[in-house]
Amino acid sequence: MSLVRRQLTALLLTEVKLVGRNATVAGTATLFPIGMAVFLVLFGADNLGALGWALPVAMQLALMCGMTVYITTTLTLTARREDLYLKRLRTSECADATILAGLSSPPLLLGVAQSLLTVVIVWIFGPAAPQNLPLLLLGIVLTVAMCAVAAIATTGLVSTTQQADMAAMPFFLFLLGTTIWAGTHGAGGPEVVPLVLPGGALLDIARLSYDGTSGFAAQFADALPALGVLVAWTLLAGFAAKRLFRWEKRV
């Protein structure tokens, strides 16, 4: 095992232990997505619109990625900086990227797991199986990555965890709101403006993933604009993170 991998594993396990010691956080992280997915199946099946299961699934994915990945990572990094843990880690042999990746890994992996759990519950009890599961998985991974990088950028705007709670709300509501807004544009795919927003791109990927009228290759080709949008938002968040992120508390 390489040095970087050992460092990442050590940071990941440390963060997992910290989360596991908080029964409220651990319970919310595991039970909340299951409850939301069950609610989606029980009360969403009779109210599906032109997009079918794509809209409720995309909304659930946006909710999970926004809460578990974006908000949790923002709070985690802010808290670690506030108690000078980030500063101490930076004096170790760990590289900056390794530190950020290690501390961000638990909410990132949990967000992926929650998203997959949502898809599985809808698949089994909906029942609604995605016709292009690899495309949907790619959309989930890109959304999770975007939220993680955006969280790193957001921490640079705040000094305390109390401020982080409020600072995280705009992007979270933006992601969820643009998903819902894009859903008002019908089953033929979002228009240009909704598509260039992260929620619209996620919805378009979900729409194509649950659409059984075309083959895998055609679905991936049609999804290229939406995939490109998520990559572009991730790069934009990365640029902001590079400019805004701070390792020490603001004096």
Q: pLDDT tens-digit profile of 159-188?
A: 888 888 899 999 999 999 999 898 887 555
Residue 79 lies in a domain: yes
Predicted pLDDT of residue 205: 95
Q: Does the residue 145 lie in any domain?
A: yes
The pLDDT score that the predictor gives to residue 129 is 87
> For residues 191-230, b (16+ Cβ closer than 10 Å) or e, as one string?
eeebbbbbbbbbbbbbbbbbbeeeeeeebbebbeebbebb
Q: What is the pLDDT of residue 20?
A: 58
Range of the domain at 87: 3-244
- Any domain includes 250: no
Q: What is the pLDDT of residue 154?
A: 95
In a domain, 27, yes or no: yes
Q: What is the pTM of this model?
A: 0.89
Mean pLDDT of the chain: 84
Determine the pLDDT at residue 192.
79
d(CA 26, CA 121): 20
| 248 residue type, one letter | E
- Collect the ranges in the chain with pLDDT lower than 50: 1
On whether the CB atoms of residues 40 and 60 are closer than 8 A, the answer is yes
What pLDDT, on a 0 to 100 scale, did the predictor assign at position 209?
93
Residue 249 lies in a domain: no
* Residue 173 within any structural domain of the chain: yes
What is the rounded distance in angstroms from the CA atom of residue 206 to the CA atom of residue 191? 15
Query: What is the per-residue pLDDT for 47?
Result: 61
Would you say residue 126 lies in a domain? Answer: yes
- The CA distance from 202 to 175, in Å, is 9
Q: Is 251 inside a domain boundary?
A: no
What whole-number distance in Å separates Cα of residue 51 and Cα of residue 44? 12
Number of domains in the chain: 1
Tell me, rounded to whole angstroms, the distance of Cα 224 from its chain centroid.
Answer: 19
Give the HSE-up count for residue 179: Cα atoms under 13 Å, Cβ half-sphere. Answer: 26
189 neighbors 207 (Cβ within 8 angstroms):
yes
Half-sphere exposure of 109 (CA within 13 A, CB side): 12
Per-residue model confidence (pLDDT) at position 45 = 59
